[in-house]
Structure 1
Amino acid sequence: MKESDTLYFCTLFDTSYLSRGLALYNSLEKQCQHFKLYIVAFNQKSHDILKTLNLQHAIIISLEAFENERLLSVKPHRGVGEYCWTSTSSVIKYCLETYHLDHCTYLDSDLYFFSSPLPLLSENPNKSVLITEHRYTPKYDQSEMSGIYCVQFMYFKNDELGLKCLNWWVDACIEWCYAIPEDGKFGDQKYLDDWTERFDGIHELEHLGGGVAPWNVQQYKFELQNNKLIGLEKKTNKVFDVVFFHFHDVRFLNTNEVDFGNYTLEKDVLDLIYKPYLKALDEAKTMVQKVDREIDPHGTRNKPNTLKDKLKRIKRKFDKNFNLYPLD
């Protein structure tokens, strides 16, 4: 791929992830010369707000336009999150077919780009599918249950090999996609474990800057060089540009606090990665509230406050993963 090529992305979210989805879009707008982000709005309110915002590089798709008979037949039997997982592969297929795209990359809505995704998409142009490993830090390794690979950034070519893999995944997720481990399956994600053996044309991303996340960030150090976020892998001293970070488990609480999850996050990670993201989310919130002041685009939750929850927070302090911070 060249800088002059248009990059096609897709994602899905509802109002509870609206600020995250907009922050994702805004980051792409900063980092990509030419792109389109196809957004399946998973409720009417998010659809209406996104349409009103009139984002230059976004195509807003209603849930009614996207859903088909197969998805609707399983929807009553899946939880809200499970149905989103069930739909992921179908979103990619829908965009490829409806808009006649030569490729499409699925993005989780809680990603944020710190540099251009082009190096990731150009890493092995002869392959038809790109998948990314979790690269777990050992103490957070959930490969056995959640899978080796993460459904966060997945590229598919609209060619024979890409469609063979994608159609298999669509069928598998329609048949079974639940938030419980069962017979070597878990959600939409565990299916990816054997793709390098099951299918031809699969490429595992090598670039360390794609897929930095709270479950692997302990392996790296970070600094800004000429306003560019640079990572260094501690065990190899390998230097890399951070392309995107996966802000998994960021939760806003009704106590005017934000929780970054149960992970060890060093000061450089908080200062150079999480603080800029909070600013990006705040900017996205401002965009939304210019359209609708009643909506909460952060999906704020009630803070759990039972005795058990309080004891958990004490334990997190001792474990050095107490990432609960007041919002200014």
Structure 2
Amino acid sequence: MESAYCSLMTKSRLYQFLALYVSLNKVRAGNFMFYVLCVDDETYRLLKKLNWKNLTVFQDTELGEDILALKKERRIHEYCWTLKALFLEMVLTKYPELMRVTYMDSDLYFWDDPEIIFNKQPDCSVLLSREKKYRPEWKPNFIKKVTKLTGEYNSGFISFKRDEMGMACLRWWKEQTLEACRIDPRHGIFGDQKYLNEMPRIFSNICDINTPGVNIGPWDYRKYTFSENDDQIYIDHIPLIFFHFSGVRVKKGDNRLELVHECEVDTPFIFNHYQKMIADLITIIQHIEPEFDGYATKEDLQKYF
């Protein structure tokens, strides 16, 4: 298999990651390989116990003492952002047969095959997902300010090809995030994400993804009309490949599951699909590991900025 997917998580992202895995398994008919990096022991043990097909699990302890030292210096979300490029490089080094690795945030959910994206632009060394921010109440000047803060691209889905430019770009991203991976508007830093702005300026063969239906999220879902036909979701009659449930947190309410997120008005019906999937997966996990608690923590529910 020449292409693989990668993600990383704390235990409070585990339920969402399992939903991501199930959605990929459906659209890829089990024909994929997923590598995941766990930053806590509970998540690692649970995923190893599940032993799901085509899923290889690593611990951050395998990254070395210098990297683990950052865990004490950075907030947990900053630490996770720091590990993205480093983990992708680790996977490419460990598995030389891989020609492409794609990082996916654990809160993605697929309704169509992601390989469509890569097959459409096979020669690109890096594929970036441009984030087109939109809400009806947002004025152009405000959108410009938000874009200046967070960057032009979304780092929840980024793909690197094993070629000279792809590897050079990945190493550069790793070095930047090891140096600084916090939210610091005064210095133009927004975690791992705003560095993506510089990639097309520094390296050649860096491409915007031009496949429609990619990385649709809460920042722009009110632009579209969502519909469903034969288990396929459409946005304005275009097949939705994946939705990014960015900012969504899984919270345990009064005897029921809650999906907490900022945009709770006019949410598309796919949120109901997503909530049901996560509820079903939580039930499975409770049978396997009753003591496991993967619900959002207080820190998860805080805004980063």
Mark yes or no: TM-score above 0.5.
Answer: yes
From the CA coordinates, give the structure whose radius of gyration is larger. 1
State the partner residue of 1:104.
Answer: 101
Distance in structure 2 (CA, Å) of the matches to 1:94 and 1:248? 26
Cα offsets for 1:26-50 (capped at 9, x unmatched): 1110011421110111111111110
**Are 1:39 and 2:43 matched, yes or no?**
no
Task: Report the RMSD for the aligned CA atoms in angstroms.
Answer: 2.1
Distance in structure 2 (CA, Å) of the matches to 1:153 and 1:280? 21
Distance in structure 1 (CA, Å) of the matches to 2:133 and 2:64? 36
Amino acid at match of 1:108: D
Q: TM-score, normalised on structure 1?
A: 0.83
**Are 1:224 and 2:224 matched, yes or no?**
no
Structure 2, unmatched stretches of 5+, are: none
3-state secondary structure, aligned to 2:33: strand
- Counterpart pick for 1:7 among 3, 7, 10: 3
Q: Which runs of 4+ in 1 moved over 4 A?
A: 300-304
How much identity, in percent, do the aligned residues show? 30
Tell me the CA shift for residue 197 of structure 1: 1.6
Amino acid at match of 1:249: G
3-state secondary structure, aligned to 1:112: strand
Distance in structure 2 (CA, Å) of the matches to 1:125 and 1:172? 26
3-state secondary structure, aligned to 1:152: strand
Distance in structure 2 (CA, Å) of the matches to 1:265 and 1:106? 29
3-state secondary structure, aligned to 1:207: coil
Distance in structure 2 (CA, Å) of the matches to 1:300 and 1:85? 18
State the partner residue of 2:133.
Answer: 136
State the partner residue of 2:75.
Answer: 79
Cα offsets for 1:249-272 (capped at 9, x unmatched): 2231444462442226426x1x2x
* Cα 1:152–1:8 shift into 2, 3 Å: same
**Are 1:192 and 2:196 matched, yes or no?**
yes
Distance in structure 1 (CA, Å) of the matches to 2:166 and 2:261? 35
**Are 1:241 and 2:266 matched, yes or no?**
no
Asked whether the 8 Å contact 1:107–1:153 carries over to 2, the reply is yes
Distance in structure 2 (CA, Å) of the matches to 1:286 and 1:145? 39
State the partner residue of 1:183.
Answer: 187
Distance in structure 1 (CA, Å) of the matches to 2:198 and 2:113? 29
Asked whether the 8 Å contact 2:7–2:103 carries over to 1, the reply is yes
Distance in structure 2 (CA, Å) of the matches to 1:257 and 1:302? 18
Give the total of aligned pairs: 290
Asked whether the 8 Å contact 2:127–2:158 carries over to 1, the reply is yes
Distance in structure 2 (CA, Å) of the matches to 1:182 and 1:159? 35
1:142-221 maps to which residues of 2 (within 5 A)? 142-221=146-225
Distance in structure 1 (CA, Å) of the matches to 2:9 and 2:274? 18
Distance in structure 2 (CA, Å) of the matches to 1:265 and 1:204? 30
Asked whether the 8 Å contact 2:3–2:99 carries over to 1, the reply is no
Structure 1, unmatched stretches of 5+, are: 233-238, 305-328
State the partner residue of 2:21.
Answer: 25
Tell me the CA shift for residue 7 of structure 1: 3.4
